[in-house]
Amino acid sequence: MAPVKTPPRKAPTEDRLRVVGTSLPKVDAVAKVTGRTKFADDLFLPRMLHCRMLRSTTPHAEIVSIDTQRAEEHPGVVAVLVGSDLPTPYGILPVSQDEHALCIDKVRFIGDPVAAVAAIDEETAFEACELIEVEYAPLDSVVDIADALDGDDPAIHSYGDAHNVHKAIALEFGDVETGLAEADLVQEDLLFYEGSTHLPMEQHAALADYRPDDRLTLWSSSQTPHYVHRALATVLEMAPSRIRVIATPNGGGFGGKSDPFNHEIVVAELSRRTGRPVKICLNREEVFYCHRGRHPTLMWIKTGFKQDGSITGMHFRSFLDGGAYGSYGVASTYYTGALQTVTYPVAAYKFEGLRVFTNKPPCGPKRGHGTPQPRFALEVHIDKAAEKLGLDPARMRLDHLVEPDSVTANYLKIGSMGLGACIEKVVAESGWNDRYGKLPEGKGLGLACGSYISGAGLPIYWNNMPHSGVQLKLDRGGGVTVFCGSTEIGQGSDSVLAYVVAEVLGIDPFEIDIVTADTSLTPVDLGSYSSRVTLMTGNAALQAAERARELLVRSVAEKWDMPGVRVAMADGQVFDVQDPDCTMTFAEAVVLAESKFGTIGTVGSYTPPRSPGRYRGAGVGPSPAYSYSATVAEVSVDVDTGETHVDDVWIAHDIGQAINPVVAIGQVEGSVYMGLGEALMEEMTYRGNRNIVHHHPSMLEYKSPTTHEMCRVHTYLIEDPDPNGPFGAKEVGQGPLLPIPPAIVNGVYDAVGARVDEVPVTPQKVLAALKRRAKQEEPREGPKKAPEFDWPDAIQVPPPWAGGDGRALDERREIGGGGVRT
């Protein structure tokens, strides 16, 4: 078969980078386009049983009894599990270990698993589930945020800050009231961001194989095999060293496959009980019930602006509808208050946030994890303030950008900061200055910015170990194998490892073997979430490769009797920079090194730098580097139907250094697509009565953009290398989503004067705002009132410019936050 035709790489001349910065195919591309890639449901083992789970048909009820007798006797059924068989609780965050593989005493949402069957085939397992009789004692269900706060429904969990309030946070950095008093304009807004789900094309699937010598292997479509490994060891009460978790390539994750899941633990236990491999593949409806998607979030924001647009004080409140379990929710809640300060300087900042439990599928991290909602609120809020202050929205932002290498009011350390260049690029390319506010009725431009973390600065469970580890094996035949725990979810993580190692060792990335996401074969990497993979695995791979390079250079320098500094490596060759004809192949260099040092193997690891914040909650928000994005969206709004169509998006993304530009562009376009979906149509909603039945748990009814709804995208990669990133690289997988929903909503206002303070900006909402506009009322559609809540006293943390040291005033000894980070 003819080798993949790849664009010619640069010759080994003096330019610094030969692989990094060049658009190349991904190392797994050929397998994916030929159908060779093995996803979890493509795996089959001899004597394999099939598992189905019985799920609750009522949103909130105690389990009075479960009768599995008839199921156990059904021909072809080999084992049946109920909640009491796996009593140990688990959960992704140490602070909310509130899940069981199968419900024990009560069910908390329609779809909550209560029993599981392993049978000779899926159909038999399905039939057996139908034979299981569960008697429920229904309880009042909690429908939404307001319902959870009014306190007259039973508590869904027995833990949390107050009844159905799972978590309540109050932090203040400087004196906000004084800041607001000094303002020329105090702008106040209430906005709502509807929940949405990841909708990965691949349904979750897992295959467990327990062997009689007490060894368990689990293949699963998971973004975080390391955390699944830990949860399995806890719940199954097995030594971690006897468990091997292999994350198969994810057919899309977007955050939806980053919790340890019921079905993973269930098939592992069923395999242990039956001694046979057990596989499960969720159907599409079950994927909706797995969820862990975007929290529906109500946000109140009050900001003081000077006439020049600078921010004197900001008070931000968020109310998150968390659903039935904790998941990442505590971290999500902190995230809704973390990144407001990383774009425009905020002199004094107060954040209050709470997450409630409701009887709905649990929410968790979806692309942007808790930051698209507040960014939407902030960027619409600023657009309104600009109008009142008579300032151009782009100019207002350009005039007040945070400084590179600075610390924010809430102690986030900013490194490189390219937002100014991003705004100037999209303003120029979209013709903003001559077209904003000047297009014909129905056409409009909207501008918005965003920033995102390049990986969470602290681990999810408190420890001082590296976040990412890489091992390299160099072979005397010239082969190189990279071992890393990172998980390929379509973002190109396998390829990044190959490019980084190829750049350092001067070899062809397509000749490198990549072994990833296997807890027995690969060193720990925490997983594919928070856009951490390129930066953290890249830095770990960089260290491992540089250590290997040093061994080769010392061996060759010794043979050629010259200082090592003259030895260069490029295009599979090792040569003397002063005499390029003096060369040997990479393989020959490895033979020399192996002869001198013995078997060549090196390791590299990466731990993010410590963040300056020392207050409780300081653990969410820090990152080794922050990416920045600016976008202009051009929309067409039909005033008769209220329909919004996005025609063009110009988006500039400060990526530091693109490792592979064409793959980076793909991440930007994918982020624009997902932001567009949430802005226009995606809704994870439920029937309005107490039964809380999901409106549309199917690919057809749950609206997501098809080829017809996607807009043209003009992508600009802004490169100003960040010292904390490998070759200067920062994230691109999630940041570009953030400015899209606010830019579209601001564009709708420019197009038809309708202010829709919530997403999705559906036709009904646009028409409602236009109707008010026609009656000379404020042309706004959006949430009316924020619920009352007795917020705890805010932890006071003086900002850096007010003599603060990162600690809270009354908890001077508080160090590093309450064990909550992601």
Which residues contact other proteins (rule: CB under 8 A)? 1-2, 4-7, 23, 25-26, 28-39, 41-42, 44, 198-203, 249-254, 283-284, 429, 489-492, 650, 660-663, 665-666, 669-670, 672-674, 676, 698-700, 704, 706-708, 710, 712-717
**Which residues are bridge partners to 137 per DSSP?**
62
Q: Is 293 helix (H, G, I), strand (E, B) or coil?
A: coil
In angstroms, give the least distance from the CB of 558 to other proteins. Answer: 41
429 token code pair:
């390319």
Instruction: Supply the minimum distance, in Å, between the C-beta of residue 650 and other proteins.
Output: 8
For residue 564, give the nearest of 593, 600, 594, 601 by alpha carbon: 593
- How far is the C-alpha of 792 from the C-alpha of 352, rounded, in Å? 9
Please identify, using beta-carbon distances, which residue of 198 and 549 lies nearer to other proteins: 198
Which has the closest alpha carbon to 242: 277, 205, 211, 278?
211
What secondary structure does DSSP assign to 152-194, as a single string? -S--SSS-SSBTTEEEEEEEEES-HHHHHHT-SEEEEEEEEE-
Minimum CB distance to other proteins, residue 685 (Å): 18
**What burial letters (b/e) apply to 4-36, b meaning 16+ CB within 10 Å?**
eeeeeeeebeeeeebbbbbebbbbbeeeeeeee
Least separation in angstroms between residue 252's CB and other proteins is: 5
Q: Which is nearer to other proteins, 254 or 615 (CB)?
A: 254
Q: Given the complex with other proteins, which of 192 and 254 has the nearer CB atom?
A: 254
Q: Judge contact between 408 and 346, C-beta under 8 A.
A: yes
> CB 494 → other proteins: shortest distance, Å?
12
- Nearer of residues 544 and 711 to other proteins, judged by Cβ: 711
Gap between the Cα atoms of 352 and 359, Å rounded: 23
Query: In angstroms, what CA-CA distances link 789 with 140, 155, 170, 545, 707?
Result: 21, 17, 12, 54, 44
Q: Which is nearer to other proteins, 740 or 808 (CB)?
A: 740
User: CA 113 to CA 107: how far, in whole Å?
Assistant: 8
Q: Residue 518: exposed, middle, or buried by beta-carbon count in 10 A (0-12, 13-18, 19+)? A: middle
Considering the complex, what minimum distance in angstroms separates the CB of residue 207 from other proteins? 13
Smaller CB separation from other proteins, 92 or 676 = 676
Q: How far is the CB of 716 from other proteins (least distance, A)?
A: 6
Whichever of 160 and 735 has its CB closer to other proteins, that residue is 735
Residue 348, token pair as written in the block: 């004094």
Nearer to other proteins, 568 or 674 (CB): 674
Residue 348: CA atoms inside 13 Å, Cβ hemisphere, count? 19
| Dist. CA 160–CA 163, nearest whole Å | 7
Residue among 13 and 707 whose Cβ is closer to other proteins: 707
Q: Is the Cβ of residue 4 or residue 815 nearer to other proteins in the bound state?
A: 4
> Shortest Cβ distance from residue 43 to other proteins (Å)?
9
Q: Taking a C-beta distance cutoff of 8 angstroms, is the pair 654, 718 a contact?
A: yes
- Smallest gap from Cβ 455 to other proteins, in A, equals 20
Rg of the chain, C-alpha, whole Å:
27
Shortest reach from residue 40's CB to other proteins, in Å:
11
